[in-house]
Chain A
Amino acid sequence: MNRTNILIGIRFVLLILAQVLIFNDLNFYGFINPMVYIMFLFWYPIKENRVVFLLVCFLLGLSIDMFSDTTAIHAAATVSIAYFRGPMMRFVFGINYEFQSFRLAQASMVQQLTFLTLLILTHHTIFFTLEIFSFAHASLIMKKVMLTGIGTLVLCFLLRNLFSRDKE
């Protein structure tokens, strides 16, 4: 239990540093900055206190906001996907998710990828809608969501493969 919390803490700090020092400056094609800190929500234990989870995600988003001068857009988007993470997992993993013994590593690669895609898509849609905040620029929002989303997905998938603890 204690070891899990320390691991979550280390992950929290490292993901923020990686995001603000590396990925915020990537500017691939001029504007694609993958938001890899979403992996925090992917890796967070499933059967944990929901209030604590939402609070930690709020702090994560707010820290990213603080570093990247985005008022509180990252916080809003992160708390939103933290709130919807439960229903998303139920949708992707089906009834297995309800069992006490369910672990993310048991799910198939396709299921994990679908879960990750859902997280990223929801996060990016909320993030860019709030950032641009104008329906006149709907096409710009769509473009940014899709292209940044693909970038985030690729990098998150690579991170998942690099750092997943349960290898077959």
Chain B
Amino acid sequence: MLTVRSHSFHRSKFFNSANWVSGIVYNSRDNITSYFKLKEENSLLLEENNKLRHLLFNRNFSDSVALDSAEVGYEVLAARIIKNSYANSENYLTINKGSAHGVSQDMGVITSTGILGIVEHSTKNYAAIQSVLNTNSNINAKIKNTNHFGSLTWNTDHFDVVQLEDIPRLVTLTVGDTIITGAMSSIFPEGIPIGVVNDFKLETSASFYTINVGLFNDMTNLSTAYVITNLSKPEIEELESNILDEQD
């Protein structure tokens, strides 16, 4: 293995919901059902615009934005979620953007409120996303304003609670601490919100916390998502594979 993958084993390449048959079926359903959510989606968009404008007006640097391609680290692509599931132990979502739009395996997917998952397969027009609510999911995360990082997993119990592991016991934790994505992976940019600490346990003999994180995202009610492309990922992967090659 050259790179750390989002999954522990290779799933079938063709029998996933990103193929054209299920893509067309789910897309036509979405064309109908999306009308019923328009009002709700509008208010979500307004809220997000509000947040972004707030950020924009409070920026302290010059008024011109650098658009030099060398300085752009990430690209964002908007997509519609046409199929969602959260009741299984391995949940997948389907979006209506695929390799024709530049979506490929191991790209991060988020919504306006928080993290969603990682692209597992992409066909021409659709992509299947491994949700954070998946027992194979393993995402680098950290506590906001510190550099203590761990990995985000899911124990299948609740669809609004995920687990953060490998946070050492010397860290002082409080209920309500915000959890964000860490800088250790090339999939997500650092600082994407994930959730807040609901409760945590520390066994006397254990050296790591068991932390329950309440997700910001309402995983049962999703309609739009953003796919993130890390433009420096090929370089990072090349570097990592070089190190591994040298070790062999």
Contacts and interface: CB of A to CB of B under 8 A. Distances in A.
B234 to A, nearest CB: 28
Interface stretch (B17-25, B39-47, B52-60, B68-76): B17-25
Interface stretch (A60-68, A76-84, A93-101, A156-164): A60-68
Interface stretch (A1-9, A16-24, A36-44, A112-120): A16-24
A69 B85 contact: yes
B22 A66 contact: yes
Contacts of B94: 69
A27 B86 contact: yes
A131 B22 contact: no
A68 B15 CA distance: 9
- Interface hub of B11, B22, B87, B156 (most chain A Cβ within 10 A): B87
Contact of B29 (A21, A32, A33, A68): A21
Contact of B22 (A67, A70, A137): A67
For chain B, what secondary structure do more than half of its interface residues adopt (helix, strand, loop), or is it mixed?
loop
B220 interface: yes
Interface range on chain B (Cβ under 8 Å from partner): 20 to 34
Nearest to B87: A31
B90 A66 contact: no
A132 interface: yes
Contact of B12 (A30, A67, A72, A137): A72
Contacts of A132: 89, 156
Contact of B16 (A24, A33, A69): A69
A138 interface: no
Contacts of B149: none
Q: Is the interface of A mostly helix, strand, loop or mixed?
A: helix
Nearest to A137: B156
A62 B83 CA distance: 18
Given A27-B220, A71-B15, A66 B87 contact: no
Contacts of A105: none
Interface string B74-103: 000000000111111111101000000000
Given A21-B25, A24-B85, A62-B15, 18 more contacts: A20-B22, A25-B84, A25-B85, A27-B87, A27-B220, A30-B87, A65-B15, A66-B17, A66-B19, A66-B21, A67-B17, A67-B25, A67-B26, A68-B88, A69-B17, A69-B85, A69-B128, A70-B88
Interface of B: 11-12, 15-17, 19, 21-22, 25-26, 29, 83-92, 94, 128, 156, 159, 220
29 contacts: A20-B22, A20-B25, A21-B25, A21-B29, A27-B86, A30-B159, A31-B87, A33-B87, A66-B19, A66-B21, A66-B22, A67-B17, A67-B22, A67-B25, A67-B26, A67-B83, A68-B17, A69-B16, A69-B17, A69-B91, A69-B94, A71-B11, A71-B12, A71-B15, A72-B15, A131-B89, A132-B89, A132-B156, A137-B156
Interface of A: 17, 20-21, 24-25, 27, 30-33, 62, 65-72, 131-132, 137, 140
Top 6 closest pairs, chain A to chain B, by CB? A69-B92, A31-B87, A67-B22, A66-B15, A69-B17, A27-B87
